[in-house]
Amino acid sequence: MATAVSPLAPERFPEMPAIDGVKVATAAAGIRYAGRTDVLLALLDPGTAVAGVFTKSKCPSAPVDWCRGKLKAGKARALVVNSGNANAFTGKSGVAAVKLTADIASKAAGCKPAEIFLASTGVIGEPLPAEKFGGVMDALVAAAEPGRWDEAARAIMTTDTFPKGAAAMVRIDGKPVTICGIAKGAGMIAPDMATMLSFVFTDAPLTPAVLQSLLTKGVEDTFNAVTIDGDTSTSDTLLAFATGTAAARGVAKISRASDPRLEPFRKGFNRVLADLAEQVARDGEGARKLVEVIVEGAASKKAARRIAMSIANSPLVKTAIAGEDANWGRVVMAVGKAGEKADRDKLSIWFGGVRVAHKGERDPGYDEAKVSALMKKPEIELKVDLGLGKGRDRVLTCDLTKEYVAINGDYRS
């Protein structure tokens, strides 16, 4: 795990309230490294609804397959997450490991194995020593307490340099409802529903179908609009859990995604997803700059997203930003290769709010000194206007530095 905290990290972990119906504990099971916390257990009250979105990789991990298979029932009693080993590309031993983990957790938590949800992150291709969960699970259940989000976020870190958390308080029927989320991710990030794990908890009384609708729509302009290196993980998992305990405060159950009472919750839920997604971008491996890529004037929103991702994933664009060079030629290249409609002679480009190229050539008012000063900032906006239509989108990324190569060159060492 990286030791130097990203210069783009938030000043501190946020204040996050406890959620009724959720208890958390962490432990060091020695999954890969000795002496570091590597297991998270979240215990959930009976009746907790669950929803999930997962990697679209054609080589998914065993925990992803497990969760997909258990999601249809819509109910969860516990979440078990480990770091250090992804339990991906592990064949029959991987399948056996998730079954053993679920059996160990279900016996300790007093529920069915099918009510246990699992996620793993870390090295791909190494068997997961699931028997090690047996050495800590009873103690985890006994120690579980409300809150403790900071500990939970730290337990799931791999190359992350800081724990990631976000919370929101909203009102439904005039009564308070809480949303808390944690995430991990710093490399192998190109969410296609991103190695990215995230878990969101709320006390709102929502049906599994409503929660799934919120989650499926919510990721599109948050987690799915972030890229660090263009690589989609085998293990990407985002699970949401709704305990429903706010019903005791007078919040009536929401059974329809079209229910107007859901709107304040939807906004708060999406704020939490967006906050976590930005923190992932801020913790990109070796990152020194957070980059917002905005594409306007495209033929459609879909086209704008594809062009924005082409720019954000370009090693040449990302290394130019690392070198604090407003090299718009590389942006033009990334636009041109995206496979979407573009007209060189209508293209305009901005770095940090300053137009550097216009209508197919360098802007006549271009000032190298002014732009160079802007490129030294830790946060940079890169905007492109194709001048073709009304399609607009934005994605978050970071620069590509020598540290990224060093981290990934030593990852299995």
48 labelled ligand-binding:
no
Q: For CA atoms 325, 339, 221, 228, give the dihedral sign.
A: negative
Cβ atoms of 410 and 305 within 8 Å: the answer is no
The helix (H) or strand (E) run that includes residue 103 is helix 91-109
Q: How many CB atoms lie within 10 A of CB 94?
A: 25
- The token pair that represents 221 in the structure block: 């302009």
Give catalytic status of residue 195 as yes or no: yes
The helix (H) or strand (E) run that includes residue 271 is helix 263-282
184 labelled ligand-binding:
yes
Instruction: Note the helical H segments in 110-227.
Output: 137-143, 149-155, 208-218
- The token pair that represents 216 in the structure block: 């499926």
CA gap 243, 27 in Å, rounded: 24
85 labelled ligand-binding:
no
List 195, 207, 234, 401, catalytic entry = 195
101 labelled ligand-binding:
no
**DSSP state at residue 224:** G
195 labelled ligand-binding:
yes
The residue written with tokens 């529903």 in the block is: 193
- Residue 335 pairs with which residues in a beta bridge? none
What residues are designated binding site? 158, 184, 195, 285, 408, 413
Catalytic machinery residues: 195
What residues are designated binding site for substrate? 158, 184, 195, 285, 408, 413
